[in-house]
Amino acid sequence: MAGRAAHLEAVSKRLIAGHNEADVIESALPIINKAVALFRSEGLPIAHIQHASSKKPEGSESWMIYEGVDTTDSDFHISKSFLDAFWQTQLDSHLSSLDVKALIVCGFLSEHCVLSTYRGAIQRGYRARVLEGGIASLSDEMTEFTLRLCEHVSLDGLGSMFTRRENGAR
Protein backbone atom coordinates (compact mmCIF):
# COMPACT_ATOMS: atom_id res chain seq x y z
CA MET A 1 0.00 0.00 0.00
CA ALA A 2 1.65 3.20 -1.12
CA GLY A 3 1.12 6.00 1.37
CA ARG A 4 -0.16 5.37 4.84
CA ALA A 5 -3.10 3.12 5.59
CA ALA A 6 -5.65 3.33 8.38
CA HIS A 7 -7.96 0.84 10.02
CA LEU A 8 -11.54 2.07 10.54
CA GLU A 9 -14.10 0.24 12.62
CA ALA A 10 -17.55 0.84 13.99
CA VAL A 11 -18.38 -1.42 16.92
CA SER A 12 -20.73 0.13 19.46
CA LYS A 13 -22.31 -1.87 22.27
CA ARG A 14 -25.83 -1.51 20.93
CA LEU A 15 -26.62 -1.93 17.26
CA ILE A 16 -30.35 -2.42 16.86
CA ALA A 17 -32.83 -2.01 19.70
CA GLY A 18 -34.50 -5.29 20.64
CA HIS A 19 -31.87 -7.59 19.09
CA ASN A 20 -29.14 -9.59 20.84
CA GLU A 21 -26.08 -8.42 18.97
CA ALA A 22 -23.47 -10.25 21.05
CA ASP A 23 -23.41 -13.30 18.76
CA VAL A 24 -23.10 -11.10 15.68
CA ILE A 25 -20.31 -9.01 17.17
CA GLU A 26 -18.43 -12.02 18.53
CA SER A 27 -18.33 -13.63 15.08
CA ALA A 28 -16.20 -10.84 13.60
CA LEU A 29 -14.33 -9.66 16.68
CA PRO A 30 -11.31 -12.01 16.41
CA ILE A 31 -10.62 -10.86 12.83
CA ILE A 32 -11.08 -7.19 13.76
CA ASN A 33 -8.71 -7.48 16.72
CA LYS A 34 -6.07 -9.32 14.63
CA ALA A 35 -6.25 -6.51 12.07
CA VAL A 36 -5.92 -3.94 14.86
CA ALA A 37 -2.82 -5.75 16.15
CA LEU A 38 -1.35 -5.83 12.63
CA PHE A 39 -1.93 -2.09 12.15
CA ARG A 40 -0.45 -1.33 15.57
CA SER A 41 2.64 -3.43 14.79
CA GLU A 42 3.11 -1.35 11.62
CA GLY A 43 2.59 1.94 13.47
CA LEU A 44 -0.48 2.73 11.37
CA PRO A 45 -3.49 4.71 12.62
CA ILE A 46 -6.65 3.12 13.96
CA ALA A 47 -10.00 4.90 14.17
CA HIS A 48 -12.90 3.73 16.31
CA ILE A 49 -16.21 5.11 15.15
CA GLN A 50 -19.22 5.32 17.42
CA HIS A 51 -22.71 6.00 16.14
CA ALA A 52 -24.77 8.45 18.18
CA SER A 53 -28.55 8.78 17.83
CA SER A 54 -31.59 9.62 19.91
CA LYS A 55 -31.60 5.97 21.07
CA LYS A 56 -27.80 5.92 21.58
CA PRO A 57 -26.83 9.40 22.83
CA GLU A 58 -23.14 10.24 22.81
CA GLY A 59 -21.58 9.16 26.09
CA SER A 60 -24.35 6.65 26.92
CA GLU A 61 -23.62 3.02 27.75
CA SER A 62 -25.06 1.80 24.42
CA TRP A 63 -22.85 4.30 22.50
CA MET A 64 -19.62 2.99 24.04
CA ILE A 65 -17.22 0.74 22.13
CA TYR A 66 -18.00 -2.96 22.58
CA GLU A 67 -15.92 -4.43 25.45
CA GLY A 68 -14.07 -7.00 23.34
CA VAL A 69 -12.63 -4.50 20.85
CA ASP A 70 -8.89 -3.87 21.21
CA THR A 71 -8.79 -0.11 21.73
CA THR A 72 -6.39 2.31 23.39
CA ASP A 73 -6.59 5.96 24.34
CA SER A 74 -4.05 6.75 21.61
CA ASP A 75 -6.43 5.47 18.90
CA PHE A 76 -8.57 8.07 17.17
CA HIS A 77 -12.16 8.00 18.46
CA ILE A 78 -14.93 9.72 16.58
CA SER A 79 -18.67 10.02 17.07
CA LYS A 80 -20.96 10.14 14.05
CA SER A 81 -24.66 10.76 13.56
CA PHE A 82 -24.99 9.44 10.01
CA LEU A 83 -24.25 6.04 8.45
CA ASP A 84 -21.19 7.41 6.61
CA ALA A 85 -18.44 8.09 9.17
CA PHE A 86 -17.08 10.85 6.93
CA TRP A 87 -20.32 12.84 6.76
CA GLN A 88 -20.22 15.90 9.04
CA THR A 89 -17.29 14.57 11.10
CA GLN A 90 -13.57 15.32 11.35
CA LEU A 91 -12.58 11.88 10.02
CA ASP A 92 -11.41 13.05 6.57
CA SER A 93 -9.35 15.94 7.93
CA HIS A 94 -7.81 13.68 10.58
CA LEU A 95 -6.82 11.03 8.02
CA SER A 96 -5.52 13.69 5.61
CA SER A 97 -3.34 15.17 8.36
CA LEU A 98 -1.72 11.72 8.73
CA ASP A 99 -1.24 11.35 4.95
CA VAL A 100 -3.53 8.30 4.89
CA LYS A 101 -4.29 7.11 1.37
CA ALA A 102 -5.77 3.64 1.98
CA LEU A 103 -8.38 2.38 4.42
CA ILE A 104 -9.51 -0.96 5.75
CA VAL A 105 -13.13 -0.74 6.89
CA CYS A 106 -14.72 -3.21 9.28
CA GLY A 107 -17.42 -3.36 11.92
CA PHE A 108 -21.20 -3.54 12.17
CA LEU A 109 -23.74 -3.35 10.59
CA SER A 110 -22.27 -4.32 7.25
CA GLU A 111 -25.08 -3.07 5.02
CA HIS A 112 -25.43 0.22 6.88
CA CYS A 113 -22.39 1.83 8.50
CA VAL A 114 -19.69 -0.31 6.87
CA LEU A 115 -21.06 0.06 3.33
CA SER A 116 -21.79 3.78 3.76
CA THR A 117 -18.33 4.50 5.20
CA TYR A 118 -16.67 2.43 2.45
CA ARG A 119 -18.52 4.45 -0.19
CA GLY A 120 -17.73 7.69 1.61
CA ALA A 121 -14.04 6.78 1.54
CA ILE A 122 -14.13 5.99 -2.19
CA GLN A 123 -15.93 9.26 -2.92
CA ARG A 124 -13.13 11.13 -1.12
CA GLY A 125 -10.38 9.43 -3.11
CA TYR A 126 -9.19 6.82 -0.60
CA ARG A 127 -8.26 3.30 -1.67
CA ALA A 128 -10.71 1.45 0.53
CA ARG A 129 -11.19 -2.26 1.23
CA VAL A 130 -13.62 -4.06 3.51
CA LEU A 131 -12.05 -6.63 5.83
CA GLU A 132 -13.39 -10.13 5.09
CA GLY A 133 -14.60 -11.73 8.30
CA GLY A 134 -14.36 -8.34 10.02
CA ILE A 135 -17.88 -7.24 9.16
CA ALA A 136 -21.20 -8.61 10.28
CA SER A 137 -24.90 -7.94 10.31
CA LEU A 138 -28.01 -9.36 11.86
CA SER A 139 -28.34 -11.24 8.55
CA ASP A 140 -25.58 -13.27 6.88
CA GLU A 141 -27.16 -12.35 3.55
CA MET A 142 -26.50 -8.65 4.21
CA THR A 143 -22.88 -9.35 5.05
CA GLU A 144 -22.46 -11.30 1.79
CA PHE A 145 -24.29 -8.52 -0.07
CA THR A 146 -21.82 -5.96 1.29
CA LEU A 147 -18.84 -8.07 0.28
CA ARG A 148 -20.23 -8.44 -3.26
CA LEU A 149 -20.51 -4.65 -3.58
CA CYS A 150 -17.12 -3.73 -2.11
CA GLU A 151 -13.52 -4.48 -2.84
CA HIS A 152 -12.37 -6.57 0.09
CA VAL A 153 -9.29 -8.17 1.56
CA SER A 154 -8.76 -11.13 3.87
CA LEU A 155 -6.66 -10.92 7.00
CA ASP A 156 -3.99 -13.03 5.27
CA GLY A 157 -4.10 -10.71 2.26
CA LEU A 158 -3.76 -7.71 4.52
CA GLY A 159 -0.71 -9.24 6.18
CA SER A 160 0.89 -9.95 2.81
CA MET A 161 0.33 -6.32 1.76
CA PHE A 162 2.51 -5.25 4.66
CA THR A 163 5.10 -7.92 3.84
CA ARG A 164 5.29 -6.71 0.23
CA ARG A 165 5.65 -3.13 1.47
CA GLU A 166 8.55 -4.14 3.73
CA ASN A 167 10.22 -5.80 0.75
CA GLY A 168 9.92 -2.61 -1.29
CA ALA A 169 6.99 -3.70 -3.49
CA ARG A 170 3.89 -1.58 -4.03
26-36 burial string, b = 16+ CB within 10 Å, else e? ebbbebbbbbb
Burial class (CB in 10 A: 0-12, 13-18, 19+), 45: buried
Higher-confidence position of 1 and 54 = 54
Q: Structural domain boundaries of the chain?
A: 4-166
pTM of the model: 0.87
Task: Find out if CATH 1.10.150.110 is the number for domain 4-166.
Answer: no
pLDDT in tens, 88-144: 999 999 999 999 999 999 998 889 999 999 999 999 999 999 999 999 888 899 999
pLDDT tens profile 11-42: 766 554 445 566 777 888 999 999 999 999 99
Tally: H helices and E strands in the chain: 5, 6
Strand-pair partners of 4: 100
